[in-house]
Amino acid sequence: MAAFLQWRRFVFFDKETVKYPSENGKNFQLPVGISACDSGRGHIIWFLTRSLQPSSFQAYKLRVTHLYQLKQHNILVSVGQDEPGINPLVKVWNLDKKDSGSPLCTRIFPAIPGNKPTEVSCLSVHENLNFMAIGFTDGSVVLTKGDITRDRHSKTLSLHEGNCPITGLAFRQAGKVTHLFVATLEKVERVPSYKTGHTRLCPPLLGAHRPLAGLTVHSGWR
């Protein structure tokens, strides 16, 4: 009976130390002070090419907290701070275009929903560039609909409110409907019906027996 009550362990990835390709197997070391990273079309910030050649640019005056790089577009979305206090800013970068040697920033806007100060806890962007979700430590989720790279073609609405911090966000497509999965410390919920412009929470998909620290949804989900 005790065996049925234990958590099963699944090995999804093989861990392998990254080495320099041209330095006789020397272990690769990243620069110190990195606070966030993500991967997409061959880069990580610092920007890291497939040949492990690093480069960098200053995205914020104080710190970077979250990054999301699109897989099908050379677009990077970041969250960080340009001034002291709880004032997170979202910046959208076009990595194919340059501005004084740095990637072109096509959009900047405050991440905080309304005027209440709260920290960003997670970030997700749909590959079609028409949806971006931001989760916060106070349990709220804000959705940006429309072209996320431009101010005039998008609008923002509040999707979710709660008491538990948002720990994970993930978009998945099912036919013409885009679903947003929302993970908190207690449960996983699903927000569908973007095709009609309405938003509603479905019953929880999963109750957490342990705190959920992240979320990913298989591409074959239906």
- Counted residue by residue, the chain has a size of 222
> What is the pLDDT, as a whole number, of residue 15?
76
> Which residue's entry shows tokens 């194919």?
96
> What is the pLDDT, as a whole number, of residue 35?
65
Domain ranges of the chain: 35-111, 130-156+164-222
> What is the pLDDT, as a whole number, of residue 159?
81
pLDDT digits (tens, 9 = 90+) for 192-204: 655 434 444 444 5
Count of CB atoms within 10 A of residue 221's CB?
12
> What is the pLDDT, as a whole number, of residue 19?
76
Cα distance between residue 21 and residue 124, in whole Å = 32
pLDDT digits (tens, 9 = 90+) for 7-57: 667 676 777 777 766 667 777 776 676 766 766 554 445 666 666 667 778
Cα distance between residue 174 and residue 12, in whole Å = 24
For 110, the token pair is 């405050």
Low-confidence ranges of the chain (pLDDT < 50): 42-44, 195-203, 205-211, 218, 221
Nearest to 216 by CA among 188, 195, 196: 188
